[in-house]
A and B are shown apart, each in its own frame.
Chain A
Amino acid sequence: MAQETVTLKIKRGAGTGESTWEEFSVPLSPNANVISCLMEIRKNPVTKGGQSTTPVSWDSCCLEEVCGACTMVINGRARQACSTMINGPHGIAKSGETITIEPMTKFPRVRDLVVDRSKMFDALKRVKAWIQIDGSHELGAGPRVSPKDQEIMYPLSRCMTCGCCVESCPNYNDHSPFIGPFAISLVRMYNMHPSGKMHAGERLDSIMSEGGIADCGKAQNCVKVCPKAIPLTESIAVMGRETLKRALFGWLLK
């Protein structure tokens, strides 16, 4: 029986330089995913046409969809390469088919499939995505939290800054200062926490200025692509109400 293969069609290039497409034929193994295919390519960096080339550069770390590093645009959709299975029940290609792989478009390209997502981390600074603790020394038990609240906060805390949501968001791009839905959702989480609440106002202010929540056009693309099923639009709605309250009555509450 002939070896079953799939073709990976990969967009390559560095920085703002030109892009080229290269195709590679990769043997199908059980439980293969996009990363395991890229690993095969670097062991034998030869294109489908028989040309020697350089191994493809890509970003990855955990290989179990928890670090967020390996996001790329696969067959037109931003997702984690490590959990994009080639075959099996969730597989994206059958023997002989072609898979198209590109870097995300909303961030500066470094090389091939690697992009620089620093601006997502900068957004976390801007919205003060942390609890203001007095110090790491012993101060006894933390505040009590009801299991009900924990069940809301835990899913929000699983955001891995992967970038799928902003890649799909029509309002997030090079020329707009919009911070993105993930950051708004984290404000919701910190503002729920019993001691995080004490600084809720500062975080609300940070999303009420330029590039904040008002830049969201409610297109709802983000929530559909989040790999962690984070209720982004629900968070945006909750924060919308909170910011509105603050805009109207903030001077009273303070």
Chain B
Amino acid sequence: MAAKVSVKSKNGKVRRAIVVGGGLAGLMTVIKLCEAGIPVDLISLVPVKRSHSVCAQGGINASVNLKGEGDSPQIHMEETCLGGDFLANQPPVKSMADAAPGIVFMLDRMGVPFNRTPEGNLDFRRFGGTLFHRTAFSGATTGQQLLYALDEQVRRYETVDVTDDKGVTIPGEKMVRKFEFWDVCDLVIDDDGIVRGVVAQDLKTSEIRSFVGDAVCLATGGVGMVYGRSTNSVINTGSAAAVAYRRGAYYANGEFIQVHPTAIPGADKLRLISESVRGEGGRVWVPRDQNDKRKGKDIPEKERYYFLEERYPAYKNLVPRDIASREIFKTVVHEGYHTRPGVRAAFLDVTHLAKTPAAKHALRNKLEGVLEIYEKFAGEDPYENPMEIFPAVHYSMGGLWVGFEKNDRGGMKMGSPANAQTNLPGLFATGEADYEYHGANRLGANSLLSCIWGGMITGPAMASWRESVKGSAFDMDEGVFEKSAKRAREEFETYFKRTGSEFNENPFKIHDELAEEMLVKVTVERKNNELDGVIAKIGELNERFDKCAVLDTTPTGKMNQPAVFLRHLRGMLDLAEVIVRGARARDENRGAHYKPIFDPERQEAKDYTGEGAGKGRDDENWQKTTKAQYVGPKSAPKLSYEAVDVSLVKPRARVYKQASMDAAKGSLGASKEEPKGDVKAEAKPATT
């Protein structure tokens, strides 16, 4: 599908689109734009090949059904909606699940070395929240392999010339121009409110300039650094999303932060131990005797408490992440179990899978990358000793609000400019930076899928937008662009005036304080009085931010990391406020968002005298998307709410305790018969 409009603007410039971020979502968007004949400027904080997507270990979901289990995209869609506790709009989920098998085939054609069956077919493993083998994988570094495959395709476009409408090469213009080590720090918005470009800073030289684009996409990933230590890469400060939010884009469902059940506690990072370890048969347990000082491997079977298996006989160790995290948290923090006295951790055990050399070889083949991380960073051999793990902040279900257009089959209409577009016209968002597919909780291996699918719809949406937009940004007065760049330059320069004795705060320490507060009070369990405390603390940190010193006034202008960090810190303070305010307001339990007063099994609920004690999920009042809008510096965001489109799968209680696979399949299949259209949500409490 070639673009119908000319590749050149009226005054003869090449009309480019801008994609910010070169993770899976950004790269896929670039590929789709190039296939539509649209040249792209790709801007990224780090060389795109080092983007955070490389961290993904476990795999990517697609109901290809190569194991003869009767899996289908329909079931995938239903399980994703259920896993997300019915907070995701269902048409986008349907389209994603339908496209998934084709996506995995495409990746395979691009040369991803997926694991294979003896017959040479793709192999699939099990992940949380499903009973099917639905996850394709490439060793234990699937994200790395997928990112490299897309990176290579984009690199190919770096060598392809742009041609004009008659097919003649335009000298010096390539389909993709990469700007790596550039930090996007503002948007260019014209008088009609249309986004026409971005402002970015070259980190190597500190130069700030604007970029012109006929459509702009933010594919800038998650926000884990708001919590300091998480499973995320250190660049995941959410800075670009914060920029868009400051300029008026809605930030949706910020309060839904996924805490992954199994990570290695660490000083600088909480390194993930992938769910695939449990998918391959890893078991979670604690010693029954809380005073047991023996090493895990020396504790006999009957003295081990496999609490997930006992509490969830059907899904066992593969219950969805929010549930597993909460159970581990409860067992260790509230019930006092641990791996050994004084250590806050549970065991994740694969030693039973490595009893013979052959079994060990097979396990290594599937999980080497993951187990290697444990061995390297914890200094113990996971084939010999059970691993010590604890939950860690992992993924943001929330993100920039984006729209979609429905088709007559109940999915998304491909090529509609409404898809993936934020409320700022001309600004698109995709990947972990958006809020679209995962509702209140993401199922394992669904993110790589949503990132690539996101790119597949965002590219065509941007192409349509570019066709219909009034006037090209490339024909606009350059003054608009220069004005935005100048404002960003001036702000950056004010940092260098922060040198007197009154600037006595260290921004890295302010970040530590923010992170500590968020980690303790805004993760697995949330209490309203504590959230009020966090809000007050953020207010205090905002004041102290104004007293932060720049730390580095070297006039060389080369790579001034502390000054750039000030900008990112300001964004993190804004996003933290969005997360906490959203959590404070949402009085119910749904997916990753959990308040003990609404859990009928908790003492807190019994003691609670306010309204709705122990009510669980509250569909009547809360089956809606949170939208946070920036009001001004140091002010609370304005929260508004939007109904969720549940036209395909009728909301029901989220139970993972069923006894058999047939029961699970049956109950899911049943919803197929539900009438399409506006099904009224039932207000059923969640029981788990």
A-side interface residues toward B, CB under 8 Å?
Answer: 14-15, 17, 29-33, 35-36, 39, 42-45, 54-55, 57, 60-69, 82-83, 85, 88-90, 110-112, 114, 116-117, 121, 124-125, 128-133, 135-136, 138-147, 150-151, 153-154, 157-158, 160-161, 190, 193, 195-196
Chain A to chain B contacts (Cβ below 8 Å), 20 pairs: A14-B554, A33-B268, A39-B268, A39-B508, A60-B234, A61-B51, A61-B52, A61-B234, A66-B54, A67-B50, A85-B376, A89-B379, A116-B204, A121-B49, A141-B105, A141-B108, A147-B118, A154-B145, A157-B113, A160-B50
For B266, the chain A residues whose CB sits under 8 A away are: 31, 36
* B561 interfacial by beta-carbon distance below 8 Å: yes
The 0/1 profile, CB within 8 Å of A marked 1, for residues 498-510 of chain B is: 0000000010110
* B378 interfacial by beta-carbon distance below 8 Å: yes
A51 to B31, CA, bound (A): 50
For B117, the chain A residues whose CB sits under 8 A away are: 147
* B487 interfacial by beta-carbon distance below 8 Å: no
Find the residue from A136, A142, A151, A193 having the highest chain B CB count within 10 A. Answer: A136
A196 to B108, CA, bound (A): 12
Instruction: Select B109's contact among A33, A62, A63, A139, beta carbons within 8 Å.
Output: A139
Q: Is the CB of A110 within 8 A of B54?
A: no
A147 to B556, CA, bound (A): 53
* B155 interfacial by beta-carbon distance below 8 Å: yes
Instruction: Select A140's contact among B105, B116, B556, B562, beta carbons within 8 Å.
Output: B105
Find the residue from B31, B139, B456 having the highest chain A CB count within 10 A. Answer: B139
Q: Is the CB of B559 within 8 A of A114?
A: yes
Q: Is the CB of A150 within 8 A of B115?
A: yes
Q: In whole Å, how far is B49's beta carbon from the nearest beta carbon of chain A?
A: 6
The 0/1 profile, CB within 8 Å of A marked 1, for residues 532-566 of chain B is: 00000000000000000001101010110110000
Which of chain B's residues 28-56 have a Cβ closer than 8 Å to chain A? 28, 31-32, 35, 46-47, 49-52, 54-55
Instruction: Select A133's contact among B153, B271, B377, B556, beta carbons within 8 Å.
Output: B153
Known A-B contacts: A143-B109, A161-B49. Give 6 more (CB < 8 A). A33-B377, A42-B551, A61-B234, A82-B268, A110-B558, A160-B49
Given A116-B204, A160-B144, the answer on whether A147 and B116 have CB atoms closer than 8 Å is yes
Given A88-B379, A129-B155, A158-B144, the answer on whether A150 and B111 have CB atoms closer than 8 Å is no
The residue in chain B whose Cβ has the minimal distance to the Cβ of A69 is B50
* B586 interfacial by beta-carbon distance below 8 Å: no
The residue in chain A whose Cβ has the minimal distance to the Cβ of B55 is A62
Q: Say which size band chain B's interface belongs to.
A: 35 or more
* B267 interfacial by beta-carbon distance below 8 Å: yes
Q: In whole Å, how far is B394's beta carbon from the nearest beta carbon of chain A?
A: 13
A55 to B373, CA, bound (A): 28
For B558, the chain A residues whose CB sits under 8 A away are: 14-15, 110-111
Q: Is the CB of A125 within 8 A of B155?
A: yes
Given A15-B558, A147-B117, the answer on whether A31 and B144 have CB atoms closer than 8 Å is no
Instruction: Select B110's contact among A29, A54, A131, beta carbons within 8 Å.
Output: A131
Q: Is the CB of B120 within 8 A of A64?
A: no
Q: Is the CB of B376 within 8 A of A83?
A: yes
Given A62-B54, A64-B269, A130-B153, the answer on whether A153 and B113 have CB atoms closer than 8 Å is yes
Q: Is the CB of B158 within 8 A of A125?
A: yes
Given A62-B233, A140-B105, A150-B116, the answer on whether A196 and B111 have CB atoms closer than 8 Å is yes
For A17, the chain B residues whose CB sits under 8 A away are: 556
